Amino acid sequence: MSNSYRGRFAPSPTGPLHFGSLVAAVGSYCQAKSQGGEWLVRMEDLDPPREVPGAADDILRTLEAYHLNWDDTVLYQSQRLDAYEHALNQLATNGHTFPCACTRKSIAANSSLNIYPGTCRNGLAPDATARATRVRVNSDTVNFHDGLQGTQKINLESDVGDFVVKRADGLFAYHLAVVVDDAFQEISEIVRGTDLLDSTLHHLYLQKLLALQIPRYVHFPVAVNAQKEKLSKQTHAPAINTTQPGAMLEKALTFLGHEPDADVINANPETLLEWAVKNWDLERIPRQLTISV
Ligand code: GLU
Tell me the per-residue pLDDT of 233-290, one tens digit each, with 9 for 90 and over: 777 888 898 888 999 999 999 999 999 999 999 999 999 999 999 999 999 998 876 5
The chain-wide mean pLDDT, for the chain, equals 93
User: What are the tens digits of pLDDT across the range 100-149?
Assistant: 999 988 888 887 777 899 999 999 999 999 999 999 999 999 889 999 99
For ligand 1, the distance from its centroid to the CA atom of residue 212, given in whole angstroms, is: 19
Please name which of 55, 74, 43, 50 lies closest in space to residue 16, comparing C-alpha atoms. Answer: 55
CB 162 within 8 A of CB 121: yes
Which pLDDT band holds residue 292 (cuts at 50, 70, 90)?
low
- Nearest atom of ligand 1 to the alpha carbon of 182: 9
User: What are the tens digits of pLDDT across the range 154-170?
Assistant: 899 988 899 999 999 99
pLDDT: which is higher, 200 or 226:
200
Angle between helix 245-255 and helix 19-33 axes, rounded to 10 deg: 70
Measuring from atom 6 of ligand 1, which residue has the nearest CA? 10
For ligand 1, the distance from its centroid to the CA atom of residue 250, given in whole angstroms, is: 23
pLDDT: which is higher, 108 or 176:
176
For ligand 1, the distance from its centroid to the CA atom of residue 262, given in whole angstroms, is: 33
Q: What is the pTM of this model?
A: 0.94
Which pLDDT band holds residue 3 (cuts at 50, 70, 90)?
low
CB 185 within 8 A of CB 28: no
Residue 18 main-chain phi, psi, to 5 deg = -120, 180
For ligand 1, the distance from its centroid to the CA atom of residue 11, given in whole angstroms, is: 5
For ligand 1, the distance from its centroid to the CA atom of residue 10, given in whole angstroms, is: 5
For ligand 1, the distance from its centroid to the CA atom of residue 192, given in whole angstroms, is: 8
CA 29 to chain centre: 14
User: What are the tens digits of pLDDT across the range 229-249?
Assistant: 777 777 788 889 888 899 999
Q: Is 104 left (phi over 0), alpha (psi -120 to 50) or beta?
A: alpha
The best mutation among 23, 47, 178 to test binding of ligand 1, ranked by most ligand atoms within 8 Å of the C-beta, falls on 178
Instruction: Please work out whether the CB of residue 166 comes within 6 Å of at least one atom of ligand 1.
Output: no
What average pLDDT score do residues 207-218 get?
A: 97
Instruction: Please work out whether the CB of residue 210 comes within 6 Å of at least one atom of ligand 1.
Output: no
Instruction: Please work out whether the CB of residue 192 comes within 6 Å of at least one atom of ligand 1.
Output: yes
Instruction: Please work out whether the CB of residue 135 comes within 6 Å of at least one atom of ligand 1.
Output: no
Q: Is the pLDDT of residue 31 over 70?
A: yes
Percent of the chain whose predicted confidence (pLDDT) is above 90: 79
The best mutation among 22, 41, 174, 203 to test binding of ligand 1, ranked by most ligand atoms within 8 Å of the C-beta, falls on 174
**Per-residue pLDDT, 206:** 97
Instruction: Please work out whether the CB of residue 77 comes within 6 Å of at least one atom of ligand 1.
Output: no
Instruction: Please work out whether the CB of residue 191 comes within 6 Å of at least one atom of ligand 1.
Output: no
Q: Mind listing the domains of the chain with CATH numbers?
A: 6-81+178-292 (3.40.50.620), 96-166 (3.90.800.10)
**Per-residue pLDDT, 232:** 78
